[in-house]
């Protein structure tokens, strides 16, 4: 790793101690260490205003037409103390990075140029809280299929109206599928929304039209003039200005301190879509599976034009099974004469809108008629497509459209310029359309501050909601690697895992187009509602309730893909504080949250007559897993827990030991999601049991709370983690240039490896938990190894000579439960660690490790293992190895699927060796 400069390439100013460089294909700290930034999207709930999950239809349109609702309160409640609990949990899992979704609607829902500064200020407060916990953050301007009002998220309601669209008729014309109106606006059953059907909106008229207008309106819709500007410029200017307003608010925090120390940059628009740009023939759909899912009705663009004008059409219908998409007959759609296009009466004769205030050029753009018909693409009366290749060539030049180069790139450059005006040192995270390669971007735009931020999901598992014994190389198929689908099939766990790692390696290599910048996978994850929600106890008479073995294997396979030689950064999708089993993440029936209040372990309630008055012990020997919620003995009784509406963030943290129970219903959810009311947790309740704190409510936690090197002297050459055996192995490549330049406590900084409690908790911690019988190995060992060296290994020493390992702090990527401030309303007080966790000596250890190193020495601080070694001299390059196990053996809890749950193929074939059958 070349030595890092002391001067910023973007501004020419001296770099701060917290500065993160983007060089040599890695994130790098000011000491010259390679950083791995891994974490989560916080959160999917931010796609909608507080209390407005996508299935709720009540006042949906009325509120939108009146100017929308504030998103204040998303993604965390920072007024009731719950944000501290959530962020402490995320930090305790080892995460050091947050992708922070924020929508255009949240910023400008009241109308063009009317900004919600209250929400912006709330967002700043949340970011300040994230900073307190040591997180690095990159902002995510999030959208899915344009807007909540077209079945996704992102843009304000008024943008659809500005495009001459009547959103209330989207369902009737199937121009978009909207969750709250599914399947019919007058006969809704939102719970029946098929998995991932929302993404088919990219193949429907609304998204195809409005993304074309946003990115290429000047080229393909020159007659669409509003306020004297083409619709492309009108939309882009409002979008970029709104995001710039948010960036200004972050910059202008009194006292500063958010930029670079916490917020390190901005992603570009989430999963941008090309619309119709580059479409070969409007009368046909592509035969190959692209990034747009084929599922349900699948009209061609010409059929969508006709549907948009209220004309019945018979269209293809598709299903998606274990072998991918397949044709499933035809379906006739009859809009009953309703059209997607706005009634001319909604604006004055001269084109002024009475609510939103713009002035449309009525001579060139007439409401009530399809804009593509007005541009001569098709004839409404005959339904005939006059120019089937209209979007294939750039008007005026006749050159074949290259969407990314011709339309996405210019938008990105303008967006980056505006963000850098507020945040000069911002790292620009470059995200082209899904699975597409980024274009070359000018040096003066990237300014040495860039990262590639593509997304990756195991598509077969995501759509089918099942973890199969076979899979397919989806990226390879899209990139033309195979001549047919069969060649892309991967059979057996080892082959699937190799394939996922190879695909992520391809995405990493795409970064080379931009330069020697780092790669981060902005979204990666797996669904938790697999197999008819069997993990929720909804099938097989509840036999598999709480069993997330299949999800664990799926998520481990994906995240393993980022390991190996890839050493890729990632932010998992997602962490939702208000997840429920009934409605998942609260958005289009997606269910990818790593944590759910509905998965909190059931504990035995006990009343004030149990035990002595004032006894404040959180757990007793009688506590089991049979009932709903553990309440404090003092001033509590079983009948105080009442049935209420699903919890807001202050209630959704419910675990155990609260000082009070809020009995009033929360306004967040309607009567469709009534469940057992749970008390508000305080972080102090968990100080004596951090293992329980980090596992309770977590789903497939062993997969995502995994060991990895967070700071490396040198570069990671190979990262391996065997989740079943709990064995972590890291190979580091080190050269003379990797000599650290920074000292801590008088010595050079070390390589730092996160070692999670989930896999390496000490027997002492497991003995304290209420589930100790299921957790402890057959022989419990309460000795703890805190340090060691290669010399100790040679001499057969069990314990190193360094004593006094400490719990650590949030600033060093460990969860410091002894110093976290707990907030109850406006009152704050310091929590106190229970005595046995405060005492000096071996009882201070959280993890118990068996470590082998090829060189150097190591020491554990909390959940961080520090490893020191000398760099080679004289321009040499060497590889050093460390291997970590749990000294007491693998923890039995959360141990994945049983043998009888493995498929016949998996039973025959060894997971690591590969398939023995084919």
Q: How far is CA 672 from CA 56, 189, 410, 645, in A?
A: 10, 12, 45, 9
Q: How far is CA 138 from CA 39, 149, 249, 250, 258, in A?
A: 11, 26, 15, 12, 11
Q: Which residues contact 888 (CB under 8 A, 6 or more apart)?
A: 762, 763, 777, 780, 781, 848
**Bridging pattern class, strands 97-102 and 136-141:** parallel
- The answer to whether 381 is a known catalytic residue is no
- Tell me: cis bond preceding 183? Omega within 30 of 0 counts: yes
**Bridging pattern class, strands 38-41 and 34-35:** unpaired
Cα angle at 348 between 342 and 352, to 5 degrees? Answer: 85
**Sign of torsion, CA 478 480 483 488?**
negative
**Bridging pattern class, strands 136-141 and 569-572:** unpaired
- Residue 864, Cβ density class (10 Å: 0-12 exposed, 13-18 middle, ≥19 buried): buried
Please give the Cα distance from 157 to 356 (Å, whole number): 11
Please give the Cα distance from 306 to 319 (Å, whole number): 23
Q: Which residues contact 590 (CB under 8 A, 6 or more apart)?
A: 44, 198, 527, 584
How far from chain centre, in Å, is Cα 131?
Answer: 19
Catalytic, out of 523, 552, 859, 861: 523
Cα angle at 599 between 595 and 600, to 5 degrees? Answer: 100
Alpha helices in 143-267 (DSSP H): 157-162, 170-173, 205-220, 231-251
Please give the Cα distance from 155 to 143 (Å, whole number): 7
State which H helix or E strand residue 414 sits in.
helix 409-422
Please give the Cα distance from 354 to 337 (Å, whole number): 26
Cα angle at 681 between 676 and 687, to 5 degrees? Answer: 135
Q: 678, 673, 674: which is closest to 53 by C-alpha?
A: 673
Query: Residue 363: how many CB atoms within 10 A of its CB?
Result: 9
Please give the Cα distance from 181 to 187 (Å, whole number): 8
Q: DSSP for 517-536?
A: --BEES-----SSHHHHGGG
> What letter does residue 665 receive in the DSSP assignment?
P
- The answer to whether 502 is a known catalytic residue is no
Q: How far is CA 622 from CA 391, 635, 639, 686, in A?
A: 70, 19, 19, 18
How far from chain centre, in Å, is Cα 432?
Answer: 17
How far from chain centre, in Å, is Cα 840?
Answer: 39
Beta strands in 94-218 (DSSP E): 97-102, 136-141, 183-184, 187-188
Whether the Cβ atoms of residue 765 and residue 846 lie closer than 8 Å to each other: yes
Catalytic, out of 69, 108, 181, 271: 271
Catalytic annotation, residues: 271, 523
């Amino acid at each position: 790793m070349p030595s890092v400069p002391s001067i910023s390439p973007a501004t020419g100013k001296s770099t701060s101690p917290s500065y993160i460089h983007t060089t040599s294909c890695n994130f790098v700290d000011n000491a010259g260490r390679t950083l791995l930034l891994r974490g989560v999207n916080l959160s999917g709930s931010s796609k909608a205003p507080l209390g407005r999950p996508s299935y709720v239809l009540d006042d949906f349109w009325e509120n939108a037409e009146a100017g929308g609702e504030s998103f204040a309160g998303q993604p965390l409640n920072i007024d009731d103390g719950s944000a501290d609990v959530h962020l402490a949990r995320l930090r305790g899992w080892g995460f050091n990075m947050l992708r922070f979704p924020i929508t255009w609607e949240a910023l400008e829902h009241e109308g063009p140029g009317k900004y919600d500064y209250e929400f912006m200020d709330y967002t700043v407060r949340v970011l300040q809280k994230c900073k307190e916990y040591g997180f690095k953050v990159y902002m995510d301007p999030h959208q899915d299929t344009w807007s909540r009002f077209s079945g996704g998220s992102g843009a304000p309601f008024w943008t659809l109206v500005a495009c001459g669209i009547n959103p209330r008729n989207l369902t009737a014309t199937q121009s978009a599928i909207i969750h709250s109106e599914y399947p019919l606006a007058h006969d809704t059953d939102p719970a029946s929304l098929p998995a991932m059907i929302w993404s088919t909106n990219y193949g429907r008229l609304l998204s195809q039209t409005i993304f074309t207008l946003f990115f290429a309106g000047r080229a393909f819709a020159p007659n669409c003039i509003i306020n004297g500007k083409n619709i492309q410029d009108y939309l882009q200017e409002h979008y970029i200005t709104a995001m710039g307003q948010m960036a200004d608010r972050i910059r202008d925090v009194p006292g500063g301190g958010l930029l670079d120390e916490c917020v390190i940059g901005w992603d570009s628009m989430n999963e941008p879509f090309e619309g119709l740009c580059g479409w070969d023939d409007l009368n046909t759909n592509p035969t190959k599976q692209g990034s747009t899912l084929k599922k349900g009705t699948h009209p061609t663009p010409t059929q969508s034009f006709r549907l948009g004008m209220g004309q019945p059409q018979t269209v293809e219908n598709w299903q998606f099974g274990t072998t991918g998409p397949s044709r499933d007959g035809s379906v006739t759609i009859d809009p009953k004469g309703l059209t997607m296009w706005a009634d001319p009466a909604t604006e004055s004769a001269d084109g002024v809108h009475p609510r939103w205030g713009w002035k449309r050029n009525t001579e060139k753009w007439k409401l009530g008629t399809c804009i593509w018909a007005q541009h001569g693409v098709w004839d409404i009366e005959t339904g005939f497509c006059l120019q089937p290749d209209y979007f294939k060539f750039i008007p005026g030049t006749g050159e074949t459209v290259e969407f990314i180069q011709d339309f996405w790139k210019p938008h990105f450059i303008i967006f980056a310029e505006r963000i850098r005006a507020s945040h000069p040192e911002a790292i620009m995270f470059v995200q082209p359309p899904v699975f597409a390669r980024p274009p070359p971007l000018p040096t003066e735009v990237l300014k040495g501050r860039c990262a590639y931020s593509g997304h990756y999901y195991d598509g077969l598992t995501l759509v089918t909601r099942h973890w199969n014994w076979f899979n397919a190389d989806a990226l390879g198929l899209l990139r033309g690697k195979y001549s047919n689908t069969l060649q892309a099939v991967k059979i057996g766990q080892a082959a699937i895992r190799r394939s996922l790692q190879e695909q992520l390696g391809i995405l990493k290599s795409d970064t080379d187009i931009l330069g020697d910048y780092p790669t981060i996978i902005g979204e990666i994850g797996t669904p938790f509602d697999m197999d008819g929600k069997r993990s929720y106890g909804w099938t097989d008479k509840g036999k598999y309730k709480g069993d997330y073995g299949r999800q664990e294997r799926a998520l481990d396979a994906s995240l393993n893909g980022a390991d190996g030689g890839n050493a890729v950064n990632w932010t998992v999708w997602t962490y939702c504080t208000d997840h429920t089993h009934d409605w998942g993440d609260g958005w289009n029936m997606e269910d990818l949250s790593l944590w759910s209040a509905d998965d909190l372990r059931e504990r035995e309630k006990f009343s004030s007559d149990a035990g002595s008055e004032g006894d404040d012990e959180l757990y007793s020997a009688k506590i089991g897993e049979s009932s709903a919620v553990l309440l404090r003995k003092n001033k509590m009784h079983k009948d105080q827990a009442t049935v209420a509406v699903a919890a807001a963030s202050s209630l959704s943290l419910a675990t155990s030991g609260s000082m009070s129970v809020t009995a009033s219903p929360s306004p967040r959810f309607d009567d469709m999601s009534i469940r057992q009311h749970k008390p508000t947790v305080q972080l102090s309740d968990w100080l004596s049991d951090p293992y329980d704190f980090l596992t309770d409510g977590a789903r497939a936690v062993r997969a995502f709370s995994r060991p990895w090197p967070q700071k490396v002297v040198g570069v990671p050459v190979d990262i391996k983690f065997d989740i079943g055996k709990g064995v972590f192995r890291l190979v580091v490549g080190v050269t003379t240039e990797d000599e650290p330049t920074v000292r801590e406590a008088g010595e050079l900084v070390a390589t730092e490896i996160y070692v999670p409690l989930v896999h390496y908790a000490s027997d002492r911690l497991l003995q304290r938990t209420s589930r100790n019988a299921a957790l402890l190995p057959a022989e419990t060992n309460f000795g703890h190894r805190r340090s060691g060296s290669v010399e100790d290994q040679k001499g057969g020493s069990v314990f190193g000579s360094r004593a006094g390992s400490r719990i650590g702090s949030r600033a060093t990527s460990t969860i410091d439960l002894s110093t976290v401030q707990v907030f109850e309303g406006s009152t704050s007080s310091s929590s106190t660690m229970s005595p046995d966790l405060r005492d000096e000596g071996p009882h201070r250890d959280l993890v118990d490790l068996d470590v082998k190193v090829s060189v150097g020495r190591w020491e554990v601080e909390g959940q961080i293992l520090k490893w020191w070694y000398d760099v080679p001299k004289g321009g040499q390059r060497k590889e050093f190895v460390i291997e970590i196990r749990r000294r007491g053996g693998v923890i039995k809890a959360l141990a994945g699927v049983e043998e009888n749950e493995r498929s016949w193929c998996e039973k025959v074939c060894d997971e690591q060796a590969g398939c023995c059958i084919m």
